Amino acid sequence: MTIAAHPHAAKPLRKRIADASEPYLYSAPALILIITVMLVPLVLGISYAFRDIQLLNPFSGGFIGLDHFRTLSEDQAFFRALRNTLWWTGASVFLQFFFGLILALLLDKPFAGRGLAQALVFLPWAVPSFLAGLNWAWLFNPVIGPLPHWMYALGIMDAPNNILSDPHLAMWGPIVANVWWGIPFFAITLLAALQAIPRDLYEAASIDGAGPVQRFLSITLPFLAPTIAITILLRTVWISNFADLIVVMTNGGPADRTQIVASYIFTQAFKRLDFGYASAIALVLLVLLLAYSMLIVVLRQTLLNKG
Amino acid sequence: MASIDIQSIRKSFGTFPVLHGVDLTIRDGEFIVLVGPSGCGKSTLLRMIAGLEGVTSGDIRIDGKRVNDLAPKDRDIAMVFQSYALYPHMSVADNMSYSLRLRRTAKEKIASAVGNAASKLGLDPLLERRPRALSGGQRQRVAMGRAIVRQPKAFLFDEPLSNLDARLREQMRAEIKKLHADLRATSIYVTHDQIEAMTLADRIVAMHAGVVQQVGTPLDLYDRPANLFVAGFIGSPGMNFFEGLYVVSGEKAELRLANGTVLPVGKRAGIESGSVATLGIRPEHVTLNDQGALEADVDLIEPTGFGIIMHVTLHDGPLKIFTLDRSMLNPGPKVRVDLPLERLHLFGSDGNRVD
């Protein structure tokens, strides 16, 4: 009877250890993989931010505490890059979303050749960003591209100049390229969300007396809201990290007017070869984006709970 | 409230015709049920009245006014959908008041209209909930409430009870009937369920393959079906049919089946002797009788609790009998039956009723 009342006492120690570690052993392969592939580089990168690491200086590598961040707080180029990032990300995301939504709404209506149109719309997504950047750089180049001449003919510009070399307009070059390249992402995801809206809701609303605008506001928009929130979150993070087009088209110039934080990090790390400072900037960007993501996730959760 | 007048309405999807010239006049306050099997065009007809489908040719008039080219919102009708089509992000009260808010009705008016409708349908405690927090029956009520707050000219129902379980369907059926008795609003109700059609309708419109087969009161359709389709569609279990030659001899007439059986039928004026005809009799009208004229082999007994459905073979042909006689649960291998003359329906070779 005593044995039956205390079954655990009867188990040998090795068996108890095996039982206790069982769940950890099952999850170990996945955990080890995640730690080696994600956490180790992350921690290493963060540690660089507090060390003096310059590839060309063999005596560098020592721990310097918050020195990089002190330099960073007085680095005017960094603050300009931060402002440029806001502009670049805001304009790109807004225009991509705006045109993507219009495209999705158009593709949601049946018309002859819709299948072909859908396939064509998604084509820019398949173009490598490097190629897209080169193409647009050429399009803006008055020697070989038609765009400056068209804009001149339309009276938008005083002379057929390259906007990529104009400090006040240069940022619009990569933004236009980015919008062209990123519209399909919004079009695809919003179209999928649109097609999930039950059609009889629109019919009920039209019988209830809603016109096209009211139907859009009271049915389409509430149904799309969670998708809009999550896609804008994703795109904002991607685009603010996305330096390819800028590096290819303007390389941050003229006079740092198109330098965003991501391209500034790239310049610091791979041109100046100052990995320590680059890591410090990257860490600041990481913190900013994390804060932003948390904000959007909370927003989306409240939207979903309400809906 | 209004009358609805439908004149030679046709509808084709592409080159595929689904309605072949429907004429129908619905009086003010009448409850009309469109009934028929899937694909007969009844839902299409309803959606054309609502304005959700275009009209290929013909005219629809509501209250004397031609509405063919009016948008749904300008027709002043309300519709209850099979899926209820409630706005999921709006509360019950907002769902019900949406149409009034769109028409910029005064706040107090909206509140009283929603309050009235809610108390009529027992929705008062649910007004602040969202549709997803409601049961199927409650959603159904909200859909009805959304229709009645507006006091439209006509109510359109598109199979509104199909998504409910049998018990709830019975209950909602009675409520719809009560509501109609209360509001006396012109209503058009689409269903494939003949019980709903029989119980609710002032008049039934039986449709098949895009053509109206018969329009009449429920008992008209039951007692005097206009053709083979209506005869077979209305009634459960379905009517028995025998095909044969109609032959007149003196004052009597009979139907000679292919297997040689001779069934006496009353003499009819609308059919010539020697022509092909189909005889119909409802299972509940076949009488079981020890001295019956016909002998049948018993194949199967289906007790329904209320009565018994007997499947028997009468001279090589199947026959269904519905009886309330419980002794028929164990009838033995053979029974004798009569087919009373006054209960027989006769249909000519074109399928139409002959009297």
Which residues in chain B have their CB less than 8 angstroms from residue A211's CB?
73
> Which residue among B79, B85, B89 sits closest to A222, beta carbon to beta carbon?
B89
Q: Mean pLDDT in chain B? A: 90
Record the tokens describing residue B94, joined without a space: 């907002």
> pLDDT value at position B42?
92
> pLDDT value at position A9?
58
Cβ–Cβ contact A112 with B under 8 A: no
CATH topology of domain A69-306: MetI-like fold (1.10.3720)
Picking from A125-139, A248-262, B162-176, B243-257, which range would have the lowest pLDDT averaged per residue?
A248-262
Model pLDDT for residues A264-291, shown as the tens digit of each residue: 888 888 888 888 888 888 888 889 989 9
Question: Is the pLDDT assigned to residue A1 strictly greater than 50?
Answer: no
The mean pLDDT value for B279-288 works out to 93
What are the residue boundaries of the structural domains of chain B, listed by start? 4-233, 240-354
> pLDDT value at position B262?
87
Record the tokens describing residue B236, joined without a space: 């459960």
Question: Is the pLDDT assigned to residue B72 strictly greater than 80?
Answer: yes
Model pLDDT for residues B29-55, shown as the tens digit of each residue: 999 999 999 889 999 999 999 999 989
Q: What is the largest CA-CA distance in chain A?
A: 100
Question: Is the pLDDT assigned to residue A3 strictly greater than 70?
Answer: no
Q: Cβ separation of B85 and A210 shorter than 8 Å?
A: no
Question: Is the pLDDT assigned to residue B282 strictly greater than 90?
Answer: yes
- Report which of B166, B180, B209 is spatially closest to residue B33, judged by C-alpha positions: B180
> pLDDT value at position B158?
93
> Which residue among B78, B83, B87 sits closest to A207, beta carbon to beta carbon?
B78
Model pLDDT for residues A71-100, shown as the tens digit of each residue: 888 888 888 888 999 999 999 999 999 999
Question: Is the pLDDT assigned to residue A122 strictly greater than 90?
Answer: no
Three-class HEC string of chain B: CCCEEEEEEEEEECCEEEEEEEEEEECCCCEEEEECCCCCCHHHHHHHHHCCCCCCEEEEEECCEECCCCCHHHCCEEEECCCCCCCCCCCHHHHHHHHHHHCCCCHHHHHHHHHHHHHHHCCHHHCCCCHHHCCHHHHHHHHHHHHHCCCCCEEEEECCCCCCCHHHHHHHHHHHHHHHHHHCCEEEEEECCHHHHHHHCCEEEEEECCEEEEEECHHHHHHCCCEHHHHHHCCCCCCEEEEEEEEEECCEEEEEECCCCEEEECCCCCCCCCEEEEEEECHHHCEECCCCCEEEEEEEEEECCCCEEEEEEECCEEEEEEECCHHHHCCCCEEEEECCHHHCEEECCCCEEEC
> Which residue among A201, A207, A218 sits closest to B79, beta carbon to beta carbon?
A207
Question: Is the pLDDT assigned to residue A243 strictly greater than 50?
Answer: yes
Record the tokens describing residue B352, joined without a space: 């139409």
What are the residue boundaries of the structural domains of chain A, listed by start? 13-48, 69-306
> pLDDT value at position B86?
92
Q: Cβ separation of B73 and A208 shorter than 8 Å?
A: yes
- Min Cα distance A206 → chain B (Å) is 6
Q: Mean pLDDT in chain A? A: 86
Assigned superfamily of B4-233: P-loop containing nucleotide triphosphate hydrolases (3.40.50.300)
pTM exceeds cut of 0.90:
no
> Which residue among A200, A210, A306 sits closest to B102, beta carbon to beta carbon?
A210
- The band of A205, judged by pLDDT with boundaries at 50, 70 and 90, is very high
> pLDDT value at position A307?
54
Model pLDDT for residues A170-184, shown as the tens digit of each residue: 888 899 999 999 898
> pLDDT value at position A8?
54
- The band of A306, judged by pLDDT with boundaries at 50, 70 and 90, is low
> pLDDT value at position A2?
47
- Taking CA–CA distances from A304, the nearest residue in chain B reads B89
Classify strands B240-249 and B252-257 as parallel, antiparallel or unpaired: antiparallel
- Taking CA–CA distances from B49, the nearest residue in chain A reads A207
Pairs of residues, one from chain A and one from chain B, whose beta carbons lie less than 8 Å apart: 56
Q: Cβ separation of B87 and A306 shorter than 8 Å?
A: no
- Min Cα distance B135 → chain A (Å) is 17
